[in-house]
Chain A
């Protein structure tokens, strides 16, 4: 019975079925399956499958996004139980506020990173495109984020990535959030120059950078940035 429910939960995520995912999550609760177990041995396995399929070219961006939505539906159902089990922090890697910075309307790169973060266990708050620097910080404060992630495809919008760091410093919040930057023109040098905490060349790299940051336990802004970038010469 338990194994069957966990398998169905996994399948609901793989099939990107939001309603079914929420329904099976409720069945897991009704069957007294610990919420953390439903996440780790059911839904998270589904996310692993989707993530692997995307990386191997067997699944595409819509599946990633919808699987993330299905996972969110599972968390919505299980959140109360996770708190009671005192497992809400271990169930997810952390909360990420993500967006494309001011003056930039490009979103596909940011959407891929957001979807991949969600299927890798982060709770993602996507602010969309053309986002003012302070809006990133305000949202991070509002939801208790772990990471702020800022994307741009435009060199002329890169200064706004720097503005976010400055806003964090000026408002005394730099030590509170890991700050990662990405997008077409973003390089290792730029990441170091603006004193961000991390940067990944691809969307998959960005997820790995975020995982390393949250697992490091270090205070944001106090260490060498984590950079996965291939243009090294």
Chain B
């Protein structure tokens, strides 16, 4: 039995014999009360600084890490089906951090990339996986993906959009349609990568799979150690058997494990400080309980249905910095834009969100989530390219520089966060034959790019240096 299998079975066993707690008590009492108490104990209440949305205070980040460490050890994660807590010991957590690799290889051949642990203000450029699981029409899937992965300097890993249909049929989650879709999506992904001349690019699972059926349907085609499975845990500090199924699938197919758990401002964790604290704890817990090769957790604001407002920017900055400064954990961090393609809103949100993640120490991101990922075919290759340009160019910037830029750009979009523009669909603003944005979209890109360069964002770097 491999060490990984042994660790996962230990966690699964604890899901059956750990301390009992109902989901309702966990959500409404255990989580909020414990987070409140630990914030108070470490003097972290009301430390969220909305005037400075990107944290520049190392001592504060370290204090958050110490508090997050305690939260992880005190709570553990609740398994939803058995309503039992999977707790970990401090020795197990220390052992996890001691043995996690500082870098892992994704992909194969000339498309291979190295995913590295990063520190705040790290000059090493992070990686970009594209896109998030935005739904696209079946007939547009291959050309959109081909366009997204076209530029090697901008996009490193294929996460991919989701299919609207499978052979013209509606895909119903948890049914044979979804199982069939898993294999079909894998086939289309490989076709698109081959067309783009990047057949060895890493996959991060079946984007359209919402249950284990879809993942299992496609895993065989995109397995192996250069590829990644994706297991997303329920909010807050919870896991379930669907997550364990995906981990077991990764073990069976010799894949890397990416696991995530989100923290919501306004949700069970409470204020921005509480969500940041929970986010630190979930990174530590997932790495230990689910033995992830890297985590994919981030803070989200339930009032704004995204994470590009001041509260979420600050909470993500402090949570990412806390873990980056004190561990070698590799972490994927996502920005949730609300504006759609061909809008200034999307470009500002992506620029500020990704600059924040980059300077705070994220290793990788998955982008874009144009129009909040809500609308079918509201995804073009252009958003992925923009995200790659921004995310990689910001490597080496100081947090202070980034904070000054954020303060100038935020007023350009923050009032629209609760009423964002949906923008244009792919066929309205992008030529998929020529793989070019429409003249309107190109002008918008050039204008905003120049504006941000004038403000100090080093956007030429990605083309000149990397």
Contact = CB atoms under 8 A, between A and B. Distances in A.
Interface of A: 54-55, 57, 60-62, 65-66, 102-108, 111-112, 154-157, 159-160, 184-185, 187, 201-203, 230-233
A61 B422 contact: no
Given A103-B210, A185-B374, A62 B172 contact: no
Interface in B139-183: 162, 164, 170-175, 178
B135 to A, nearest CB: 5
Nearest to A158: B170
A65 B28 contact: yes
B266 interface: yes
A65 B80 CA distance: 18
A156 B372 contact: no
Contacts of B32: 60, 62
- Chain B interface helix/strand/loop/mixed: loop
B420 A185 contact: no
Contacts of A102: 172-174
Contacts of A185: 135, 373-374
A159 B170 contact: yes
Contacts of B353: none
Interface residues of B, number: 48
- Chain A interface helix/strand/loop/mixed: loop
A111 B31 CA distance: 16
Contacts, number: 102
A112 B211 CA distance: 23
B27 interface: yes
A157 B170 CA distance: 10
Interface string B242-280: 100000000000000000000010111111001000000
5 contacts: A57-B311, A65-B28, A103-B211, A108-B264, A187-B374
Given A65-B28, A154-B173, 19 more contacts: A57-B266, A57-B271, A102-B173, A103-B211, A105-B240, A108-B235, A108-B264, A111-B27, A112-B267, A156-B171, A156-B173, A156-B208, A157-B210, A159-B172, A185-B135, A201-B305, A230-B418, A231-B371, A231-B420
B200 to A, nearest CB: 29
Q: Which of B271, B303, B373 has the largest count of A CB atoms less than 10 A from its CB? A: B303
Contact of B420 (A62, A103, A160, A230): A230
Contact of A156 (B27, B210, B271, B422): B210
